[in-house]
Structure 1
C-alpha cells in the first residue's frame, strides 16, 4: 500500500472538527430539558419503493401534515420526523436501472419503444374455467 504523501488538508479538517466538538460540549448544544408544555408527535410509515408512488401516499401523508400543523397553531410543541429509508429492494431496482440505462441514465425515446413492440389486436381469449355451478350440481344429492 502506498504511503500517504501529505495530510495537511486532513489535519486542518480534523482540527476544525475537534474545535467544534469542544464548543458543542461546552455550550451543551445537544442537551435539552424536557419541555413542560404538552407536545404532539406524529409518525408516518415511509412508502416502499417496490412500486410507483400514487395519490394514496400523498393523501395519507397530508393527514399527518395537517394534524401537526393544526397542533402547532394551537401552541403545542409539535414534532413530525419524516424520512425515507433506502431498502434493499430499492437498491436492487436502482442497480438494474443503472445497468439498463447507464449513469447518468439515457432513456430510449417513447416513439422508438412503441416501434419496437409490435401492436397486435389479437387479444388472448381466456376460456371460462369457472366450475362453480358444475361443482355444486355434482355435490347436490339427486
Structure 2
C-alpha cells in the first residue's frame, strides 16, 4: 500500500521571504554616478561647432531614419543605430568634425 502526504494549499503557497543583498547593485550605481559626473565635468559628449568651416575631407555626417509611430521597434533599429553611434565616435576620435542630426517628421502627412 502506498501512502502519500497531503499538502494543504496554504502550506504550498507559503514561501520564505529572504532579504537580498543590494551591495553589488549599490556599487554599480555608485560607479554610474561617478562616471556621469566625470563625463559632465569633462563635457565628453558636448561638441561646439568649429569657428570656421572645415574642409570637406575633415567632416563626417551620419543620419538615421527615425522609426515611425505606427510600427514597433525591433532589433534592426538597435543594430543600425549602434553602427551609426560607433562610426561617429570613431571618426570623432580620428579628429573629424562629426554631425549626427536628430530627425523629425514635420510634414504633417499621415503615415500609412
Alignment TM class, shorter chain as reference: 0.3 to 0.5
Larger-Rg structure: 1
Using the size of structure 2 for normalisation, the TM-score is 0.45
Q: What is the TM-score of this pair, normalised by structure 1? A: 0.36
Q: Which structure is higher in helix share?
A: 1
Structure of higher RCO (CA pairs closer than 8 Å, 6+ residues apart): 2
